[in-house]
Amino acid sequence: MNDADKILILFDGECPLCRRKIRFFRRRDKAGRLAYADIRAEGFESPIPAIGFDTLERKIHAVTSEGEAVSGMAAIRAVYRAIGLGWLAAPTGWPGLRPLFDLLYRGVAKNRILLGRILRLDRP
């Protein structure tokens, strides 16, 4: 599969919740549809020049194979579709539930480091 056909996930490698989610994605990406970029890695350069580091740091972002930048729950839904689990994330995009899931995601993203410590996800 060509890299241009992949979804690029931009994630915070210092975040225990983010690292756990990336491990989940890697295990389930049997077709090799995903690529990953740790925004905290040395030499990281954003593939989305219009979006600064501060914005990337606040929530997960992805660049679809069509070149569209998506973030938050939209990025999660795109990744789940790519790994064949779109049905699992589909309810998060339904009109009546989408605002609730978007709000929940923002709360988790804002407190992700603390939640990772509470859940003891910072262990290898």
Residue 94, SS3?
coil
Q: How far apart are CA 56 and CA 12, in angstroms?
A: 8
What is the count of structural domains for the chain? 1
pLDDT digits (tens, 9 = 90+) for 73-93: 999 999 999 999 999 999 999
Range of the domain at 60: 3-118
pLDDT digits (tens, 9 = 90+) for 48-78: 989 999 999 999 999 998 999 999 999 999 9
Is 124 among the domain residues? no
Q: How do strand 7-11 and strand 69-71 relate by DSSP bridges?
A: unpaired
Is 123 among the domain residues? no
Predicted TM-score (pTM) of the model is: 0.90
Q: How far apart are CA 28 and CA 30, in angstroms?
A: 6
| CATH number, residue 15 | 3.40.30
pLDDT at 100 over 90: yes
- Widest distance between CA atoms in the chain: 41
Return all residues near 7 (Cβ < 8 A) that are at least 6 apart: 33, 34, 35, 62, 63, 64, 65, 78, 79, 82
Is 18 among the domain residues? yes
Is 7 among the domain residues? yes
Identify the pLDDT of residue 3: 67
